[in-house]
Amino acid sequence: MWNFNKFRNNIALIDEKDKVFYRDLIIYSAKIEKKLRKKSLTLMLADNSIGSIVCYVSLIKKRFPVLILDHRITTKFLKDILKLYKPENICLPNKNSFFKRNKDFKFVYKFKSFKFLKNIKKDPFKVNDNLSILATTSGSTGSVKLIKQSYNNIKSNTSSILQYLKLNKNSVTITNLPLSYTFGMSIINTHLQVGSKIVVTKRTMFEKKFWKVFKKNQINTIYGVPYTYEILDKLNFFSKNTPSLKLFAQAGGKITEKFQKKINLYIEKYKKFFFIMYGQAEATTRISYLPYEKFAKKIGSIGVPIVGGKIKLVDENNRIIKKANTVGEIVYKGKNVCKGYVFDRNDINKKDQWNGKIFTGDLAKRDKEGFYYIVGRKKRFSKIYGLNINLEEIENLLKTKFNSPDFATIPSTNKIKIFTSIQDTDKKILDCLKKNTNIHISSFKTFFVKKIPKLINGKIDYKELSNYS
Neighbours of 72 (CB within 10 A): 12
Confidence of residue 427 (pLDDT cuts 50, 70, 90): very high
Domain check: are 216 and 247 in the same one? yes
Pick from 5-19, 23-37, 239-253, 401-415: least confident: 401-415
Contacts of 339 (CB under 8 A, 6+ apart): 131, 147, 148, 149, 150, 153, 352, 353, 354
Q: Which amino acid is at 13?
A: L
CATH of the domain at 94: 3.40.50.980
What was the pLDDT predicted at 469? 65
- Please check the confidence at residue 462 and state whether its pLDDT lies above 70: yes
Helix ranges (DSSP H) in 384-425: 391-401
Domain check: are 282 and 372 in the same one? yes
Asked, for residue 425, whether it belongs to a domain, the answer is yes
What was the pLDDT predicted at 317? 87
Q: Which amino acid is at 49?
A: S
Rounded to 5°, the CA angle 67-68-69 comes to 125
CATH of the domain at 352: 3.40.50.12780
Beta partners for 366?
Answer: 372
- Please check the confidence at residue 260 and state whether its pLDDT lies above 70: yes
> What digits encode the pLDDT tens for the residues 82-92?
999 999 999 99
What was the pLDDT predicted at 457? 73
Asked, for residue 139, whether it belongs to a domain, the answer is no
Asked, for residue 35, whether it belongs to a domain, the answer is yes
State which of 325, 355, 377 marks the end of a domain. 377
What was the pLDDT predicted at 370? 98
Beta partners for 240?
Answer: none
Alpha-carbon span 44 to 89, nearest angstrom: 8
Q: What number of CA atoms fall less than 13 Å from residue 96's CA on the CB side?
A: 24
Alpha-carbon span 18 to 13, nearest angstrom: 8
Average pLDDT over the chain reads 92
Q: What's CA 136's distance to the chain center, in Å?
A: 10
DSSP state of 71: T
Alpha-carbon span 100 to 96, nearest angstrom: 9
Alpha-carbon span 468 to 452, nearest angstrom: 10
The residue-averaged pLDDT of 171-198 equals 95
Domain check: are 157 and 82 in the same one? no
Strands 19-21 and 66-70: unpaired
Using alpha carbons, list the distances in angstroms from residue 269 to 240, 241, 265, 459.
10, 9, 6, 29
Asked, for residue 410, whether it belongs to a domain, the answer is yes
The residue-averaged pLDDT of 436-441 equals 85
Asked, for residue 188, whether it belongs to a domain, the answer is yes
Alpha-carbon span 468 to 461, nearest angstrom: 11
Confidence of residue 386 (pLDDT cuts 50, 70, 90): low
Pick from 3-7, 236-240, 265-269, 316-320: least confident: 316-320
Asked, for residue 140, whether it belongs to a domain, the answer is no
Alpha-carbon span 225 to 227, nearest angstrom: 5
Confidence of residue 139 (pLDDT cuts 50, 70, 90): very low
Percent of the chain predicted with pLDDT > 90? 71
Asked, for residue 143, whether it belongs to a domain, the answer is no
Domain check: are 422 and 326 in the same one? no
Domain check: are 394 and 365 in the same one? no
- In DSSP notation, 322-362 reads -STT--EEEEEE-TT----EESSGGGTTSPPSSTTEEEEEE
Range of the domain at 335: 151-377
pTM of the model: 0.85
Alpha-carbon span 192 to 1, nearest angstrom: 10
Domain check: are 262 and 347 in the same one? yes
> What digits encode the pLDDT tens for the residues 262-312?
999 999 999 999 999 999 999 999 999 999 999 999 999 999 999 999 999
Domain check: are 255 and 350 in the same one? yes
Domain check: are 162 and 119 in the same one? no
State which of 359, 377, 395 marks the end of a domain. 377
Domain check: are 299 and 401 in the same one? no
Asked, for residue 68, whether it belongs to a domain, the answer is yes
With CA atoms as reference, report the closest residue to 52 among 80, 2, 15, 86.
Answer: 15
375 neighbors 361 (Cβ within 8 angstroms): no
Alpha-carbon span 218 to 138, nearest angstrom: 31
Using alpha carbons, list the distances in angstroms from residue 397 to 72, 180, 228, 439.
34, 32, 20, 13
Higher pLDDT, 171 or 73: 171
- Please check the confidence at residue 141 and state whether its pLDDT lies above 60: no
Domain check: are 163 and 261 in the same one? yes
Neighbours of 352 (CB within 10 A): 13
Confidence of residue 98 (pLDDT cuts 50, 70, 90): confident
DSSP state of 19: E
- Please check the confidence at residue 333 and state whether its pLDDT lies above 50: yes
Alpha-carbon span 351 to 254, nearest angstrom: 33
44 neighbors 73 (Cβ within 8 angstroms): no
222 neighbors 174 (Cβ within 8 angstroms): yes
Q: Total structural domains in the chain? A: 3
What was the pLDDT predicted at 225? 92
With CA atoms as reference, report the closest residue to 378 among 330, 323, 317, 337.
Answer: 330
State which of 127, 161, 177 marks the end of a domain. 127
81 neighbors 43 (Cβ within 8 angstroms): yes
> What digits encode the pLDDT tens for the residues 9-56?
999 999 999 999 999 999 999 999 998 877 789 999 999 999 999 999
Pick from 70-79, 147-156, 205-214, 238-247: least confident: 70-79
341 neighbors 147 (Cβ within 8 angstroms): yes
Percent of the chain predicted with pLDDT > 70? 98
Strand ordering across the sheet containing 357-366: 310-314, 328-333, 357-366, 372-377
Confidence of residue 104 (pLDDT cuts 50, 70, 90): confident
What was the pLDDT predicted at 125? 83
Alpha-carbon span 115 to 38, nearest angstrom: 17
Pick from 262-276, 352-366, 383-397, 420-434: least confident: 383-397
Domain check: are 343 and 398 in the same one? no
Three-state SS letters, 371-432: CEEEEEECCCEEEECCEEEEHHHHHHHHHHHCCCCCEEEEEECCEEEEEECCCCCHHHHHHH
What was the pLDDT predicted at 143? 65
CATH of the domain at 416: 3.30.300.30
Domain check: are 109 and 224 in the same one? no
